[in-house]
Amino acid sequence: MEMNQQLRVEIQREVASALAEDIGTGDLTAQLIPETASATGRVITRQDAIVCGTAWFDTVFQMLEPESSVVWHVKDGERVAPGQRLCDIFASARCLLTAERTALNFLQFLSGTATTTARFVAAVAGTRARIVDTRKTLPGLRLAQKYAVGVGGGQNHRIGLYDGVLIKENHIIAAGGVKKALQRAAKIAPSNAFIEIEVESLAELGEALEAGAKMILLDNMSIEEMSEAVKVTSGRALLEASGGVNLERVREIAETGVDRISVGGLTKDVRAIDLSLRHIEE
C-alpha cells in the first residue's frame, strides 16, 4: 500500500508520542551502559506473519539517534516464516536498549493487523467480496492501522467522520425517515465523500433502494437474508455485510454475493506478532 504524505507526518507524531510515553525524563537503566559503547541488533520472527510497520520502526531509531541505521531484509507486505531475519540494527548500545521496546511495539502490532487482514482476504478469495475495515481502531493509531489493513490486502472504509456519510438507525430516526436522511446527506456531503445507509431488514432495504441509495450496509442479517438482499438489489447498489463477522463464517457471507464485508476485528482485536530483537556480540 502506498504511503502518502499525511501518513508520513502521522508516523512522526505517533513515534514521538510513543517515545515520550516510554522514556519520560530519561532511560535510567540504559545509563548502566558506557555512552561510547556500540551495538548490533537483529529482529527475527517466531511465527508466520505479514510484515508491516518498517517505517515506524525506522523512525524510532532515527528520532533517538540520527546516526543509527536499520538494514531490512524484508519489506512491508512480505510473508515471513518462523526464524526468519527481518532486519539488522546498528546503533549505540544505549540507543538500541532504549528504542527496542517502542520499535517492536509498532512492528508487532501493525504486523498483527496486516496478518489478520490477510487471513480474511484469503478466506474470501474467488468471490466478489472485498474485506474492509471500520473505525474500531486503537485510539491515536487509526492511520497506522488503516495502512496495515491495506498492506494485508484489505480496503479502507472511511477514515473518520469527515470523509464519508454512514447513516445508521438513530440518524434515520432523527432525520425523519430513510428518504429524508438520504436527501439531506446528498446536500451536505462533499463531492468526494460516499453516502451509505444501514438497514436491518429486507423491508428497510426496499425502502432504501426506492429512495435511491447507492451504498447499503446490511446489519446483522442472516445468510438467507443477505442472499435475498443481493437478489432484490440486482446491482442497483453496493452491498456491505456487517456484524458478527469472523473467519469461521466470512466465506459463507462472501458467497451470498455481497460486494464488501466490514470486519471490526481487523483493528479492534489486535494480536501482536511474536518478534524477537536479539543483541549480537561484536
Low-confidence ranges of the chain (pLDDT < 70): 1-2, 281-282
pLDDT value at residue 4: 86
Owner of C-alpha cell 446490511 = 218
pLDDT value at residue 98: 97
3-class DSSP state of 126 = coil
Region of 193 (left: φ > 0; alpha: ψ -120 to 50; beta: rest) is beta
Which one is the CATH code of 5-121+271-280: 3.90.1170.20, 3.40.50.300, 3.30.750.200, 3.40.50.450? 3.90.1170.20
Q: How far apart are CA 166 and CA 78, in angstroms?
A: 33
3-class DSSP state of 94 = helix
The set of residues, in sequence order, having a beta carbon less than 8 Å from that of 90 and lying 6+ positions away, is: 38, 40, 68, 69, 70, 71
Alpha-carbon distances of 142 from 54, 86, 113, 167, 248, rounded to whole Å: 17, 25, 12, 21, 26
pLDDT value at residue 281: 60
pLDDT value at residue 2: 64
Residue pair 241/221 in contact by the 8 Å Cβ criterion: yes
Query: Which CATH class for the 127-268 domain?
Result: alpha beta
Task: Spell out the domain ranges in the chain.
Answer: 5-121+271-280, 127-268
List residues with catalytic annotation: 101, 136, 168, 198, 219
Q: How far apart are CA 195 and CA 166, in angstroms?
A: 6
Nearest to 130 by CA among 49, 223, 241: 241
3-class DSSP state of 198 = strand
Return the DSSP state at 175. Answer: H
* pLDDT tens, position by position, 31-86: 999 999 999 999 999 999 999 999 999 999 999 999 999 999 999 999 999 999 99
